[in-house]
Amino acid sequence: MRIATWNVNSITVRVDRLAAWLERSGTDVLCVQELKCDADAFPAQRLRDLGYEAAVHADGRWNGVAVLSRVGLTEVETGLRAGPEFDGRAEPRAIAATCGGVRVWSVYVPNGREVGHPHFAYKLRWFEALTGTVAKDAAGDRPFAVLGDFNVAPADEDVYDIARFEGSTHVTEEERAALAALRGTGLSDVVPRPLKYDQPFTYWDYRQLCFPKNRGMRIDLVYGNGAFARAVEDAYVDREERKGKGASDHAPVVVDLDVDEDGSVPGGA
């Protein structure tokens, strides 16, 4: 089974690239973030024509998440349990589904904006809610993973120049502690460094030629439980998809699993 995560930065703008990538990559399950559309505007029929069911959590603002699957899609859950609100509303930033026996969460963690900003405090509360929501599945026996745009670089090496991020979000001790707490539920980073590139960044800003100069960050992550991690055969960042006109500012992160049709791991979980 091939599972991936991708912040597409507007699915309506990038639906042609998304469709082409799905066909080219042979992905079975895709966790998508930053849809930037209403649920009614989601290109469900276009994806059905390609063989994918979709579970969508979106409201047309700057958020929105989805899970696409061509191996079944059940047990859909939207939003975090006891999740925090921002400006009086619960944002559509998390959705879960079971696909071919593998349980996944697609998450779009709040950016945080600036250290000390109310959005930064919201980001930390959101992480707490995420950790509480996934703890049971993370400790379970079936393959389970949280995939998405975490808006945190786990280590200094996950940004192109840590000195340039001094005092900024995405690299603070508080955010990294939140990631550590999430891993503490029984999850691990299944896309280790290095991969097919010495610096497997997943995000490059559109400005200042960041992509050509490889001034990137690794903030799109796949955190899997023990059963998921044992099933991993390969993992990589599809950096090529960041190239060309109309690309998202994020690249897909892809994980290949050796699992049976019911999600069980050959040889036992």
Output the six-digit token pair for 180.
């550590």
Q: Does any domain span residue 84?
A: yes
> What is the reported pLDDT for 269?
44
Residue 250, annotated as binding a ligand:
yes
Q: Which residues of the chain have pLDDT under 70?
A: 193-199, 268-269
In a domain, 42, yes or no: yes
CA distance readout (Å), 25 to 68, 141, 238: 14, 28, 9
CA atoms within 13 A on the CB side of 173: 0
Predicted local distance difference test score (pLDDT) of residue 268: 62
In a domain, 264, yes or no: no
Written as one string, the DSSP assignment of 11-32 is TTTSHHHHHHHHHHHT-SEEEE
> What is the three-class DSSP state of 193?
coil
Q: Which residues are catalytic?
A: 108, 149, 250
Number of folded domains in the chain?
A: 1
Q: Residue 62: its pLDDT value, please?
A: 87
Q: What is the CATH number of the domain that holds 139?
A: 3.60.10.10
Distance of CA 33 to the CA centre of its chain: 7
Rg of the chain over CA atoms, in angstroms?
17
Q: Find out whether 137 and 103 touch, Cβ atoms under 8 Å.
A: yes
Q: Is residue 268 part of a domain?
A: no
Q: Is 7 annotated as a binding residue?
A: yes
Query: How many other CB atoms are found less than 10 A from the CB of residue 219?
Result: 23
Distance of CA 109 to the CA centre of its chain: 9
Note whether 242 and 250 are within 8 A (CB): yes
pLDDT digits (tens, 9 = 90+) for 95-117: 999 999 999 999 999 999 999 99
Structural domain span for residue 66: 2-257
Going by C-beta distance under 8 Å and a sequence separation of 6 or more, which residues neighbour residue 155? 176
Report the C-alpha gap between 92 and 113 in whole angstroms: 18
Q: Torsions phi, psi of 163, nearest 5? A: -60, -30
Question: At which residue do the structure tokens 């969508």 appear?
Answer: 56
On whether 34 is known to bind a ligand per the annotation, the reply is yes
149 is in an annotated binding site: yes
Domain-embedded: residue 85:
yes
pLDDT at 8: 98
| 214 inside domain | yes
Confirm whether 267 is domain-assigned.
no
